Structures are given as C-alpha cells and as structure tokens.
C-alpha cells in the first residue's frame, strides 16, 4: 500500500480514537457536577468540550513522550500504528458499552505495544519507559488521588461543620462549576496530546517529520477538535457509573474530587508523565466518597472497575497484536482489519441502543435494596 | 531497570499540597461567608455587622489566593 495512503488512514483512525477518548472521558470532569445538580447534563458536556479544545493547545509535553519513548520508531511503520489504534478503539467502545471508566490511555498504549511486538519483536519496545511512564503511574496514580481526596474531603467537611449549611452547599455547588471546568481543561492538556503523539509518531515513521519534533499545528488543531467533539457527545453510561453508582455524591465531595484530579493531572502534565486521567478522576471520586463515610462507598462497583483496569492494557495489546499480524499480510490485510473493526464498532453501538443512557436519564439509577431489608 | 521515583514523588507531593491548599482556602471562604454568629453559635439571626464584614473580607482573601494558585498552575502548563 502507498505510504501516503496508509498515513492518511492512520491519521483518520487516530482522530476516531481521539473522538472515543473524548466521550469515554467526559465523565472524568462532569460526572459529579451532573450528579449533584451543579450543572445540567447538556451544559456540562458543552463546557467540557470547549475546555478540552482549549486545553489541547496549552502543552505538548505528553505528546513528545509518546512520539519519542515507548517504542523504537525505526522498527515500526504506519501499518503497525494503525493496528494498535484499532485495538484501542475497540477496547474503548466495549468498556463504554459496559459503563466502565477504563483508561483510554492504557488502551492506546496496550494496542501500540501489542502491534509493535508482533512487527518488531520485544526489542522494539522500551520496557523501561513502559514501566516508568505507564505501569507505575497506572498503579500509583489512582491510589495517590484517592488518598489525597479522602484527606481533603475529611478536612473540608470538618472545617465547614460550624458554617451555615445552606451557604456551604450553595458555595460548593458554584465552586464545582469551576473545579469541573479545570478538570476538563486539564484533560485537554493531557489526553488530546496522546493522539497528537500517535500522529506525530506516524509522521516520523513515514519520514515526514524529524524524530524528536513537536506535533505540527494541524495535528494539534485536529486532535483538539476531535476530542472536543467526542466530549460533547457525552459518554452517558460512564457518567452514570462515576456520578451515581459509586456513592451518593454531595457538592463538597464533588468539589474536592475535582480539585484533587486537577492538581494531579496538571502536575503530571507539567512533568511529562502521561498518566491516565480516568484512573486519577475515578480514584478521586472514590476517595471523596470515603472521606465523608467509608461505608457509603459501593465497593462492588470498585471491584468491577479495578478488574477492567487490570485487563485493559493486555486486552488492547492482544487485539492490537492480532490486527498487526493481519495487517502485515498486505493491503488486503489492512482492509480486513479496517472493515472488521468497523463492523465490531457498529455491533457495539447497536447493542448500546437496547438500553440507551442519555442526558435525560443519566441521573436515574435503578433502586438498590436498603441494608437489612428483606428482598 | 531504572525507576524514576523522584518524578513520581514530585507529582504526589505537589498535587497533595495544591489540592489541600485550594480546598482549605475555599472551605474557609465559605465559613467566612456564613452569617457571623452562625460560625460560633449555629444561630444566623445573631450575626453582627462587624463579624459579617470580617467574614466577607476573609472569604475574599481566601478566594483571591485560590485564584492565584489556579492561575499559576495554568501558567506553568502554558509556559
């Protein structure tokens, strides 16, 4: 297949991934604000979309890490990146269908690692970078976020105990609109860059950009627009999980969770650490819920989410590896991967229509039996 | 295999400090905005004008400090 054709295919596939990343991660910024009523669902996703777009233009540190660190650029080609992206998109769609806030970043890294392993062997993967920039942050970031959120939520509740309850509730609701907006901005600075990094890596492997370059402006703009549009679509299933199924979130907790998430994401972005914003935000929400009352947390939901986190990277790697193997057989293989991937995506979308979650019913949670009540 | 513990530690410490500072400042701002005597007696009807003015001044200072911290965070990213 002509190099310029496959580069165009990879860029389009990367932008589709970015779109799925957007609607998969809308919940990170807006789930608690929607749950507490601080923002109306449609208003929340519109604000998140605009701020993700702005955030995409603010930094390129993470993009540089991805385009120049995880895999050996000299041993892969655009077809390998295409296969990795297919693995990441399919995993994102599957977890969205299940309402699980899994990491889009780990789906992307897993897909790329699996596809690269098949194409260039284990030597093409920089395991030290994978450990430092992916595995360790994946394990530590949700724990760190949860611990910080637990502590600050406890302190916020203690400090405001003697204050006027109505002033505090109104104030934190108002503050939530700011903190949620900051998470959306932070998300744009971190996640939009991952797609920028992948497109830049493609341009490097095709010889169109010098290794070590920052993403060209058109890459930044298209990635920003794509993630903003995806965010505006709203991943309502995951918003319901994070906003309503973990615990009964109050404005104080929404604010502390969002503030913790913003602090962790912006700090890591500044230091070029491409951590999962989903894991940070989920950890913060669990921490904020536990900071008010440990028993109020729905630990069953936590178990499901932890399982999804554990299998995300290897699952996306397996799909990426299979797609890479198929695509390496030639043009026909690439077409089979593209058509097969599109068919699976369409099937997942059709399945989601059977039990649609929208802006109108996102805060409706099926009633659960109270503790001690006979069923 | 080298593990970059210092960067991970930096992220943890800076994040914790920033989140703690912002949350405490905003919390104290709402305490300040509460009717003066409510903070001590739980009875907003007994607020005095002086206590109300002091509370508003505290709230304004806390919110200004918060805005500065958030602004500095964004400045670091843009820079």
How many Cβ atoms sit within 10 Å of the Cβ of residue A67? 29
Whether the CA torsion B12, B18, B21, B25 is positive or negative: it is negative
Distance from CA of A16 to the nearest CA of B (A): 26
- The whole-angstrom separation of Cα A58 and Cα A303 is 35
How many Cβ atoms sit within 10 Å of the Cβ of residue A161? 10
Q: ipTM of the assembly?
A: 0.86
Backbone angles phi, psi at A33, to 5 degrees: -65, -35
Using CB atoms, pick whichever of A160, A189, A268 lies closest to residue B11: A268
To test the contact with chain A by mutation, choose from B2, B5, B10, B12 the residue with the greatest count of A C-beta atoms within 10 A, namely: B12
> Within an 8 Å CB–CB cutoff, is residue A343 touching chain B?
no
Asked if B34 and A259 come within 8 Å (Cβ–Cβ), the reply is: no
Residue whose token pair is 């009964």: A248
A-chain residues near B45 (CB < 8 A): none
Contacts for A155 with CB less than 8 Å, ≥ 6 apart: B20, B23, B24, B27
* Tens-place pLDDT, residues B19-44: 999 999 999 999 999 876 455 555 55
The pLDDT value given to residue A146: 95
DSSP state of A370: P
Classify burial at A129, counting beta carbons within 10 Å of its beta carbon; exposed 0-12, middle 13-18, buried 19 or more.
middle
The pLDDT value given to residue A367: 56
Contact A148, A268 (CB under 8 A): no
Using CB atoms, pick whichever of B15, B38, B73 lies closest to residue A164: B38
Predicted model pTM: 0.85
The pLDDT value given to residue B64: 96
* Tens-place pLDDT, residues A23-62: 899 988 899 999 988 899 999 999 999 999 998 888 666 6
In A42-92, at which residue ranges do the beta strands (DSSP E only) sit? Answer: none
Q: Both ends of chain B: CA-CA distance in Å?
A: 32
Helix A136-159 / helix A277-292 crossing angle, nearest 10 deg: 30
* pLDDT, averaged across chain A: 87
Q: Kindly identify which residue of chain A lies nearest to residue B55, measuring between CA atoms.
A: A163
The pLDDT value given to residue A64: 60
A-chain residues near B24 (CB < 8 A): 152, 155-156, 159
Contacts for B76 with CB less than 8 Å, ≥ 6 apart: A266, A270
> Within an 8 Å CB–CB cutoff, is residue A60 touching chain B?
no
Q: Return the bridge partners of A258, or none.
A: none
> Within an 8 Å CB–CB cutoff, is residue A174 touching chain B?
no
> Within an 8 Å CB–CB cutoff, is residue A168 touching chain B?
yes
The pLDDT value given to residue A375: 31
Contact A264, B11 (CB under 8 A): yes
* Helices then strands, each counted (H, E), chain B: 3, 0
Asked if B77 and A270 come within 8 Å (Cβ–Cβ), the reply is: yes
Residues B61-71 have a mean pLDDT of 93
How many Cβ atoms sit within 10 Å of the Cβ of residue B40? 10
Backbone angles phi, psi at A125, to 5 degrees: -105, 130
Compute CA distances A5 → A17, A18, A85, A331, whole Å: 18, 20, 16, 11
B-chain residues near A185 (CB < 8 A): 74
- The whole-angstrom separation of Cα A365 and Cα A34 is 13
> Within an 8 Å CB–CB cutoff, is residue B60 touching chain A?
no
How many Cβ atoms sit within 10 Å of the Cβ of residue A154? 16
B-chain residues near A183 (CB < 8 A): none
- The whole-angstrom separation of Cα A337 and Cα B62 is 56
- The whole-angstrom separation of Cα A172 and Cα A327 is 52
Which two three-digit tokens encode residue A115?
């596809």
The pLDDT value given to residue A143: 93
Q: Taking chain A (375 residues) in consecutive chunks of 10 residues, what is each chunk's mean pLDDT?
A: 82 94 89 90 94 84 62 81 91 92 88 90 86 83 94 95 89 92 85 85 85 86 94 90 88 94 86 82 94 84 90 92 91 91 94 88 66 36
CA nearest neighbour of A134 among A312, A14, A296, A369: A312
The pLDDT value given to residue A244: 85
* Tens-place pLDDT, residues A12-22: 999 999 999 99
């Amino acid at each position: 297949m002509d190099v310029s054709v496959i580069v165009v295919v990879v860029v389009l596939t990367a932008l589709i991934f970015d779109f799925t990343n957007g609607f998969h991660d809308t919940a990170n910024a807006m789930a608690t604000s929607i749950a507490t009523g601080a923002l109306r669902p449609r208003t929340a996703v519109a604000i998140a979309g605009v701020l993700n777009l702005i955030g995409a233009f603010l930094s390129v540190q993470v993009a540089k890490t991805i385009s120049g660190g995880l895999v050996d650029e000299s041993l892969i080609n655009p077809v390998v990146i295409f296969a990795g992206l297919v693995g990441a998109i399919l995993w994102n769609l599957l977890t969205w269908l299940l309402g699980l806030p899994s990491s889009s970043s780990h789906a992307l890294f897993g897909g790329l690692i699996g596809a690269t392993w098949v194409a260039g062997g284990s030597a093409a993967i920089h395991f030290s970078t994978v450990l430092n920039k992916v595995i360790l942050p994946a394990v530590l970031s949700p724990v760190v976020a949860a611990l910080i959120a637990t502590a600050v939520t406890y302190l916020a509740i203690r400090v405001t105990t003697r204050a006027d309850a109505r002033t505090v509730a109104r104030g934190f609701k108002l503050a939530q609109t700011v903190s949620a907006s900051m998470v959306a901005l932070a998300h744009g600075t971190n996640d939009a860059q991952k797609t920028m990094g992948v497109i830049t890596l493609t341009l490097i492997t095709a010889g169109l950009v010098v290794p070590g370059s920052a993403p060209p402006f058109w890459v930044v703009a298209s990635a920003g627009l794509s993630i903003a549009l995806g965010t505006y679509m709203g991943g309502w299933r995951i918003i319901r999980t994070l906003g309503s199924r973990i615990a009964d979130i109050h404005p104080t907790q929404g604010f502390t969770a969002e503030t913790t998430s913003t602090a962790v994401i912006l700090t890591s972005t500044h230091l070029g650490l491409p951590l999962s914003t989903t894991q940070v935000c989920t950890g913060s929400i669990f921490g904020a819920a536990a900071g008010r009352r440990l028993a109020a947390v729905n630990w069953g939901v936590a178990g499901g989410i932890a399982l999804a986190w554990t299998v995300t990277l290897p699952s996306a790697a397996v799909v990426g590896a299979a797609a890479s193997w198929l695509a390496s057989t030639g043009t026909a293989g690439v077409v089979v991967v593209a058509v097969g991937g599109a068919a699976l995506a369409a099937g997942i979308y059709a399945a989601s229509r059977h039990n649609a979650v929208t802006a109108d019913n996102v805060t409706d949670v099926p009633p659960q039996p109270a503790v001690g009540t006979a069923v | 295999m080298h593990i970059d513990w210092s960067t991970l530690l930096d992220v943890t410490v800076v994040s914790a400090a920033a989140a703690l500072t912002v949350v405490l400042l905003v919390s104290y701002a709402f305490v300040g905005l509460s009717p003066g005597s409510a903070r001590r007696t739980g009875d907003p009807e007994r607020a005095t004008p002086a206590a109300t003015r002091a509370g508003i001044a505290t709230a304004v200072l806390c919110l200004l400090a918060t805005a500065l911290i958030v602004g500095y965070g964004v400045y670091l990213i843009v820079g």
